[in-house]
Every structure is written in C-alpha cells, then in structure tokens.
C-alpha cells in the first residue's frame, strides 16, 4: 500500500464503527488524521489512541447536515495540517423504520439531511480545499448494499443511499480533470453499532437464519475489512479508479 506520510485524511462519522476503523487505518499508513462526528468524547478517545501509537490526529465536533459545521470542519483540517488529501464521508444514520403510510415527514428530512445532504456539503467544502491546495486528492463516500437494494420500511434510508450513487458519479466526472478522484464504498452487513441496532429490530432469528445465510462468506464483515477497501481507493494503487462503486459485502448482493 502507498506510503501516506505527509498526507492528511478527514473522516466523518469517526466516533465508532467503519469511520473509527478507517481513521485508525489512515494513521497506521502514516497519514495525519482529522476525525469528525457529533460525539466528542468518543472522538477524544480515538485521537488519544492514534497518538499513543505514534500517529497524529485532531478532532472537530461536527453535524454534517449543518453547512456551517462542515465548513468549519474542513477549515480546521487546513488550519491544523495545511492541506487535505483524503476525505471519507462516512457519517450516516439509519433513522426510523416505518411503512410509507406512517413515516413522519420530519423523519424523512432528518435521514436525507444527514446521509445525502451531508455528503453533498462535505464534498462541496472538501473539494474546495483540495482545489486550493492543488495536490489533487481522493474522496470516498460510504453507501450501503441498500444503495441498490431496497427493503420494507426503509424508504428514507434506502433513498438516501441510492442518492449517493448519482452524487458520487456526478462529482467524480466534475472533479476528475483536476486530479480529484471520487468513489463510493457500499458495505453489506458489518459488525457495527448501527447494524446491532438493526439486528434488534429484525430479530436474532431472522438475522441469523434468513439474512446471514445469503452472505456467501456466511458472516458479517468487520469494520477493519471495510476500512481496507476505503484506504485502497484513496491510495496511489487506485490512481485509475474514479466514479466507481466498490461493494465489500461478502457476496450478499449477488444472492438477491
């Protein structure tokens, strides 16, 4: 894997799960890391862990659905480290699961604001910073197998993840001439707090007997495995990859 020393990575939704694992992976590859999320205490623990391993990290409390927060987040990265090379837009929520006749309008808005508008706002300010730095860069958005597979009662979440395909491919085409690559990673079942919450909703029996058997590898993924895909797409080894969707899902989407 490419040496990421002297490079700067920004990871949203870094307080747990895939975002946390990705921040640790960037640091392990030599990058300075800016971690962002709404939960400041968890971010502080992550920064301390990275620093204890000899890495460099800084935190910024951020609500990605708020433009001013996102602008401040990117400004913090530039103000602290002087550049931005990699950005991983991982922040997301599952929202309320409800049928279309029962889903409150404000809940629809909340999910789309974080998952889709949040990615738009992040790319808006990240791209500005990368263009000003004139070093090129790589942006990875985090979708889901639900970027192309729907499920009952998940209309807001599924719509937000579907939207990331169009957003990613459009911005990829726009930024490619400036040397900025934009890709989408769509994980399947991953052992994260969000998926544990989903498991409680669907029930252990359905999860273990109906869902996991459809995964070719017969298990949920680990956050560190998804982080490897993200790091690859940011690395020089992926220099000819942009506008694409990588699906580390253990083969789940192939069975549906």
Check 125, 157, 240, 252 and give the catalytic one: 157
Q: Where are the beta strands (DSSP E) in the chain?
A: 8-12, 32-37, 57-61, 86-89, 137-142, 180-185, 245-246
Q: Is 71 exposed, middle or buried (0-12, 13-18, 19+ CB in 10 A)?
A: middle
Contact between residue 77 and residue 10 where contact means Cβ atoms under 8 Å apart: yes
Catalytic residue status for 157 = yes
If DSSP states are collapsed to H, E and C, what string results for 167-193?
A: HHHHHHHHHHHHCEEEEEECCCCECCH
Distances 231 to 11, 35, 87, 153 between C-alpha atoms, Å? 11, 15, 10, 33
Query: Residue 54: which H helix or E strand, with range?
Result: none
Which sequence positions are flagged as catalytic? 157
């Amino acid at each position: 894997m490419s040496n990421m020393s002297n490079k700067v990575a920004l990871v949203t939704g870094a307080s747990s799960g895939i975002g946390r694992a990705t921040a640790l992976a960037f640091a392990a590859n030599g990058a300075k890391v800016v971690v962002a999320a709404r939960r400041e205490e968890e971010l502080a623990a992550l920064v301390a862990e990275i620093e204890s391993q000899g890495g460099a990290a800084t935190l910024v409390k951020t609500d990605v659905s708020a433009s001013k927060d996102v602008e401040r987040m990117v400004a913090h990265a530039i103000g602290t480290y002087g550049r931005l090379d990699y950005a991983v837009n991982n922040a997301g929520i599952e929202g309320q699961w409800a049928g279309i006749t029962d889903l409150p309008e404000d809940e629809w808005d909340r999910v789309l604001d974080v998952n889709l508008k949040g990615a738009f706002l992040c790319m808006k300010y990240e791209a500005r910073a990368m263009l000003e730095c004139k070093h090129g860069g790589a942006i990875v958005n985090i979708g889901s197998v639900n970027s192309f597979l729907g499920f009952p009662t998940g209309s807001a979440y599924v719509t937000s993840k579907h939207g990331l395909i169009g957003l990613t491919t459009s911005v990829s085409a726009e930024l490619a001439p400036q040397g900025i690559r934009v890709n989408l990673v769509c994980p399947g079942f991953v052992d994260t707090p969000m998926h544990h919450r989903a498991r409680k909703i669907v029930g252990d029996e359905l999860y273990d007997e109906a869902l996991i058997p459809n995964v070719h590898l017969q298990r949920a993924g680990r956050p560190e495995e998804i982080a490897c895909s993200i790091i690859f797409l940011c690395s020089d080894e992926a220099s000819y990859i942009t506008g694409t969707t990588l699906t580390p899902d253990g083969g789940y989407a192939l069975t549906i």
